């Protein structure tokens, strides 16, 4: 029977660490669409306040960086701005929901690929080690 030594324990720890770190990195990317939606909602709330002010065009133009791609739907300010902002809010939620779903799919693929690659790496190491040591000895009774 093969004796378990520190090298095998370190290898096993690294195999689990690779997959664990991949999952850890995924947790940083997963909430990004939600964070963007919350920030955009705050910008749209500010746009609603700015649209009712005296110089709506200038105020909305100052909000352009925070509004991102929603700015194109709101500028220039004309018509019922409250309705336009509500419509853009719904469209923005749909876009960011699609982005969240796409991010989740990519993260699942990332974790699956990292897991498979860690398994392939482990099999390669075990294969090389088995060739070095020769056939395993039968278990003693």
Angle between helices 32-51 and 81-133 (to 10 degrees): 170
pLDDT confidence band for 92 (50 / 70 / 90): very high
127 pLDDT exceeds 80?
no
Domain ranges of the chain: 6-133
Question: Which tokens sit at 126?
Answer: 């075990």
d(CA 126, CA 113): 20
d(CA 77, CA 106): 38
The predicted model gives 84-108 an average pLDDT of 92
pLDDT confidence band for 138 (50 / 70 / 90): low
d(CA 8, CA 126): 9
Q: What is the pLDDT of residues 16-69, one digit of tens each?
A: 787 788 888 888 888 888 899 999 999 999 999 998 888 888 988 899 999 988
CA 59 to chain centre: 33
Per-residue model confidence (pLDDT) at position 116: 85
Name the pTM for this structure.
Answer: 0.67
């Amino acid at each position: 029977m093969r004796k378990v030594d520190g090298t095998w324990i370190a290898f096993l720890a690294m195999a689990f660490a690779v997959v664990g770190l991949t999952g850890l990195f995924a947790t940083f990317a997963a909430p990004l669409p939600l964070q963007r939606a919350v920030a955009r909602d705050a910008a749209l709330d500010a746009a609603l306040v700015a649209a009712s002010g005296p110089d709506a065009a200038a105020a909305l133009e100052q909000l352009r960086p925070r509004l991102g791609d929603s700015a194109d739907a709101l500028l220039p300010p004309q018509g019922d701005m409250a309705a336009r902002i509500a419509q853009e809010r719904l469209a923005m939620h749909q876009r960011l929901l699609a982005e969240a779903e796409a991010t989740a799919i990519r993260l699942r693929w990332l974790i699956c690929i990292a897991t498979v690659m860690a398994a392939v790496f482990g099999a390669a190491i075990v294969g090389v080690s088995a060739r070095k040591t020769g056939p395993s000895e039968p278990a003693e009774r």
